[in-house]
Each structure stands twice: as C-alpha cells, then as structure tokens.
A and B are shown apart, each in its own frame.
Chain A
Amino acid sequence: MAKGHDKRPSKREADTERGLLLSLVETLIPSSNANGAMPAASQLTEFREIPSEEARLVYGPLLDLILTRTPQEARQSFASLDLDAREEIIRGLGADHPEVIGGAVSQTLIRYYGAEAVVEALGLEARPAHPGGYALAETNWAMLGPVKAMEPIYKPTPGREEEG
C-alpha cells in the first residue's frame, strides 16, 4: 500500500457505515414477539461489533447495490426509512441480484441463530450439547405390534430357500 494515503474512514464515516449496516441487518431480521421476544439482528453484539473487514466482505456487495441502484432520496436516507420501505428497496434489488441478497441473508441467519441471546430467546439452552446431552423418553414398542404380525418380506437367496 502506498505510504501517506491513510484510507481508513474518519470516525463519522465509520459511524455512518455502521448505522447503514445495522439498518440493513435489522431489515433482514427485525425484532418480533411472534415466537417469544426475538431481538432484531441489529440489537445483537454479533452485528454491532462485527469487525469492519468482515462486515465489508459479507455486506459490502449489498450495501454497494443499495447505494448505487436506489433512487437518490432513498440512498441518502436508507437508514432512516421505515422497515417496510427498506424491505421494499432490498426486494426490488433482489430481482436482478438474487445471489447478492442470498449471500447477505444466509450470513445474517448464521450469525443471528448462532448468537447466545437468540438461542435463549428460542427457549433453548445456550450450551454445547456435550457433555450434558439431552434426554429422550423411552419408546413404547407396543407400536410395533402390527409389524410383528407380518410375514417375512425379504426374498431368500435363490437355491438356499430350504436352508431356512
């Protein structure tokens, strides 16, 4: 990299970038009371503190699209639009760029459902499965009754039928 050209964004630019990013992930996964109190993606540390490099890698292509392909007014104020308006803009872009939207959505889902707060909000235990494991009730094998009453359904080896 050439010396003397510091390409790092100023604090204000960085804040704007982060604001735009959070408004984007909030649009992809907003908060909801549908399945308990589910946070919006933008409320989670996983997104609030996502390293800039990673954010650019994951969301750069979609943010670029939003900034270059949307009407001037929306571009200026994407972050301040309401959720419905933001969603409409992104869906509009999706027709021509499904892979860009798909990539950003899957990465958001991975981070969101990997987050401890979300796992707990779903009513699950936020812990590794091992060593605690999970309990499964013993099965009532009486259900097998009708099958046990069946005749054998396999074909014996030709020529070996008599051997039983």
Chain B
Amino acid sequence: MTRADPIDVLIVGAGASGAAIAWSLAETGMRIVCLEQGDWPNPSEYPSTQRESEILQLGPHSYNPNTRRRREDYPINVSDSPISIANYNGVGGGTVLYAGHFPRFHPSDFRTKTLDGVGDDWPLDYEKLEPFYAENDRMVGVAGLAGDPAYPPKEVQLPPVPLGRVGEKLANGFNQLGWHWWPSDSAIATRPYQGRDQCVNLGPCMSGCSQGAKSSTDLTYWPAAERAGVELRTRSRVREILVDDQDRATGVIYYDAEGNENRASAEIVILACNGIGTPRLLLNSKSAHFPSGLANRSGLVGKNLMHHPYAYVQGVFDDPLDSYKGPIGCALWSQEFYETDSSRGFHRGYTLQSSRGFGPVTTALMGLGNGRVGWGAKHHDTFGAYFNRVAALSAICEDLPELHNTVTLDPELVDSDGIPAPKINYTLGENSRRMLGHGAERASDVLREAGARDIIVQSPLPNAGWHQLGTARMGVDPEDSVVNEWGRSHDVKNLFVVDGSIFVTAAGVNPTPTIQALALYIADQIKTRLANLFD
C-alpha cells in the first residue's frame, strides 16, 4: 500500500547500494520510499530449477540486458565499446546475478595518486570505511578465512567455500610458484545464516541462486528495511529528477507498471541506479539551471567510466575436475600482483580469481568459439577432451579513470517507456592493456604449473562489463567531482549518489563490498548531519 503523506527520502534503485542505504536510514523514522524499475525476483523461476538451465541463461536469464530484453530492462548501446554491460534490473539489482566475490578494497586503493602517481586519491580512506565494511559483512554473511596476508586483519562470518578439485589444482600451482593465494571472501552462506539456507553447489550463481544461499539484497537488506518501515515501489521507472530555481531537487517523474506518468515529491533524493543508470538519469534531467544535465556543472557526469577489464585464462587438464559443481566464481584468489611494481611496465595491479567450469551446453559453445571443440567426425573427441576438464583464472585489472570513457544519452535508442537509452564509449587504456597481458601470462604460469596441457586466453573478456564505476565521482573539489566526500552533489544540496558511479578509482577487485560500505557510510553521514544537511 502506498501512503500519500510527504516523502522525506526518495531512493531510486533497489540494488546493492539502494538497499543498504534504505536499511540504514530506516532507523531515523523518516518516511523513506524507494522506486525500482523492475520487480521482485522469483527464485523459483531461476534457471537452476530447470533442467534446461544453461539454455535459459542464453536468453531470458542472460546477464546481458540487450539479450534478456525484459520490459524492465533498458537497452544499452555498446557498439563503441569492446566490453558489453551486464546487469539486473529488479529488487536486488546486480546482486541477484553477481557471482558473490566479496573482496574489500585495500588501503592503497584509496591513495593511488600519492602512492603511484596515477588516478586520484579518494577523499576518504580504508580506515574510515572499515567499520562500514564490517557492518555490511555482518548483513551479508561473508564466507572466507581470516588471516589473509593481502589484507589488514578483518573478520568473516562463515567458513570458506570448498575449493573442489578445480581450486585444489590451482592452489597447488600457486604453491609450486611460491605465490600468494587465499580462499575468496564470498557473499555465499556456506552454513545457514540469518534465515538463509546454505549453498548446495548448484553452480550457476550468475543466473540467480534458487537456494537463497547467495547474499543478494532482495534476501538480505530489503526484508529488514521493509520491516523497519521503508516502502519499496516496484515497476516504477524514474524518467527525470525535478529541481526548483534554488537548485534543490523537489522529486521525480516516474512511470508505473501501467506506463502512467507519476510525480513523487521528496525532501532528499538519493540515486542508486549504478554506474550506467545514474549518469543516464542525471543527463536526462536537464533544466534551465542545469542545461547539460543535473548536478553536472563539473561536466563530469558520465565521464571516467571504469570497468574491470578481465583476462580470462582457461587451463585444460587431463583428468576430470567436476568443474561444473560449486559456485562458479568463488573458490580462491591471488593478490601476488596487486600492488604496483614498476618493473612490470604498468601502474597498479590485479587480482587473479579462480572460476570453475560449465555444463555441457556452455562448454560446447565456448569450445566452438575458441576452436577447442569441432563438429563432424572429430566432435566427440574434442568435446570429451574439454568438458569437465577446465580450471580457469581471471586477471581482474584495475582500470584507470579516463575522461574519454563515457556514458551519454543515445540520440535514438529508447527504453519501453520512451526514455533515452545510454550509450557507452569505451576504449582500453594502454595501462589496462599491458596489465591484461601480464595477468594472462601469470595466470598461464599457474595453470601450467598445476598441470594444464592446453591454455586458452580470452582478453579482454567481451561480456564482462559487470562493474560500472566512476561516472559521478566523489571528491572535495566541485570542479573535479560530482559529489562531495560524503556523497552529496556539489550542485544540488539535497541530492545524493551512493552507487558505483561515485568511485574515484576502480581498484583491482570486485566492487560490491565497497559500494555497500560507501552507502552505509553516506547513510551515517546523513544521520549525523541531519540538523544542517543542506548547508
């Protein structure tokens, strides 16, 4: 049921960050409403409940919105990018489909300019964010093992995801080389956790976890936020943010499930639409005071788009690895090549992350694509030598912020409500290119050491635009950033951004723990500053 009284806080987007900030702000007793363009996901419809799960992932359950093409998806023009976008539009956002890797940033990630002369320093540091990482970890339930020498001390809630044969092979390879590795921090309940059941190793975490073991925010933050009084309106797609002539946001215009145009007024507007959806919405909110898009006096809305370019390296082994069993992404990581070493020819570094293999359909298609599986007389021999024999490592490379990597509004393409769709212009920077090359070589070293007889490199992985960062970055200088050091727009003093777009740099790890820790930190700042929030 929706109430008609004034809204204090209007959040747009119910994904990783929208859920976290809604939950945290709920204790203030303010009236909080979240508008989400998609629906509640239904775990009983996820592909792993069907025998044809692999086929469903090629179409209606794809992580690529341009393939999925559901009503709530918006098309994304990626014709000028080697990397296409992956997302999920519904309650939970990207966490519904994420693999569940849950690494924090490192202290150095917040100081890349000072330490390495590249990117920029963040206006906050690891120590400031640490209590919010810890709070988020407790909500999520992180599986892992304390004591990783790649991190300052931190706690985990649950035992690590088992390595399986794939992970053991790789761990062996790392040990032979004397390199760092550690069981991954994973947003996966390896034991029952806060009402969620434990992981049963279904495999396709990236099409939704029907077991409810993976910590997506529809299962973690949202039930708690709703219990605390937050109202979540699904199938409500925001077209633009309204602003008065005092440069204050007054609310939004949105379309409901029937396509009717509605207005919602609010004292505070918080954007949590991710690194593509947020700049899209700001750029579409033009007015006399903001002719080039709302909160865009710096001209940086939509600029500095960062991905994590992936070098995906498969090793093919002689023995069967049961590689389709267990969480696809989570087993172990290595941060041997994380911090800058100038002798490598690039700045900053990357994480090597393991991944398991796939079921027969995906294996056959991948093998066809990379030439390892043939057709005709040689089909069965080639398939048999590839299926269930793959262990993989990905180098997740730190992309640097570059002005020419952008999200703009496509002049023609629109979504099902007629709202202009985003267009991505992205080219791999030289630093990222070199880092990818290095990562592919080191991953190959590990796989060879572990006994792989064949190595297959795909770099950059084309469908891997699942981390969208930097397009409304935070900073102290209004000339050089879109939001301030606690997430408030420099130009519109009651407008906040809390999603991945506020990242200053990308680090070489998956971003969601940092996105959520930042959302909790910004919520804390709002709560602390309520008396003079708009000064």
Contact = CB atoms under 8 A, between A and B. Distances in A.
A114 B361 contact: yes
Given A122-B387, A154-B106, A130 B202 contact: yes
A109 B364 contact: yes
Nearest to A132: B200
Contact of A116 (B51, B53, B152, B364): B51
Interface in A103-151: 105-106, 108-110, 112-114, 116, 118-119, 122, 124, 126-139, 141, 143-144, 146-148, 150-151
B196 interface: no
A153 B325 contact: no
Nearest to B171: A143
Contact of B107 (A109, A133, A160): A160
B180 interface: yes
Contacts of B164: 136-137, 139
B534 interface: no
A35 interface: yes
Contacts of B49: 128, 130
Interface stretch (A7-15, A25-33, A63-71): A25-33
A44 to B, nearest CB: 14
A130 B50 CA distance: 8
A133 B53 CA distance: 13
B120 to A, nearest CB: 14
A107 to B, nearest CB: 10
Contacts of A139: 160, 162-164, 167-168, 183
A124 B147 CA distance: 38
Contact of B203 (A91, A126, A129, A146): A129
Interface string B29-71: 0000000000000000010111111110010000000000000
B360 interface: yes
B531 interface: no
A92 interface: no
B149 A130 contact: no
Contact of A28 (B53, B168, B365, B376): B376
A48 B127 CA distance: 64
Contacts, number: 180
A155 B52 contact: no
A115 to B, nearest CB: 10
A87 interface: yes
Q: Which of B110, B183, B211, B379 has the most chain A CB atoms closer than 10 A to its own CB?
A: B379
A110 B364 CA distance: 8
A129 B50 CA distance: 7
Nearest to A135: B201
A69 B175 CA distance: 56
A116 B145 CA distance: 39
A83 interface: yes
B383 interface: yes
A30 B326 contact: no
Nearest to B364: A109
A154 B115 CA distance: 12
B108 A155 contact: yes
Contacts of A147: 149, 174-175, 180-182
B288 interface: no
A126 B164 CA distance: 22
A153 B381 contact: no
A137 B162 CA distance: 7
A163 interface: yes
B360 A156 contact: no
B335 A153 contact: yes
Contacts of B53: 128-129
Contacts of B360: 113, 118-119, 122, 124
Contact of B168 (A27, A112, A132, A143): A143
A158 B115 contact: yes
B108 A134 contact: no
A1 interface: no
Contacts of A131: 200, 210-211
A163 B128 CA distance: 12
A135 B383 CA distance: 24
Interface in B96-111: 106-108, 110-111
Contacts of B200: 130-134
A84 interface: yes
Contacts of A112: 364
Given A130-B210, A134-B203, 9 more contacts: A28-B376, A32-B379, A34-B380, A83-B377, A109-B364, A129-B53, A133-B202, A137-B162, A153-B150
11 contacts: A34-B384, A109-B361, A109-B364, A130-B202, A134-B202, A134-B322, A134-B326, A136-B162, A144-B183, A146-B175, A157-B110
The 10 closest A-B pairs by CB, nearest first: A133-B200, A32-B380, A35-B384, A113-B360, A134-B325, A129-B202, A157-B107, A109-B364, A34-B380, A155-B108
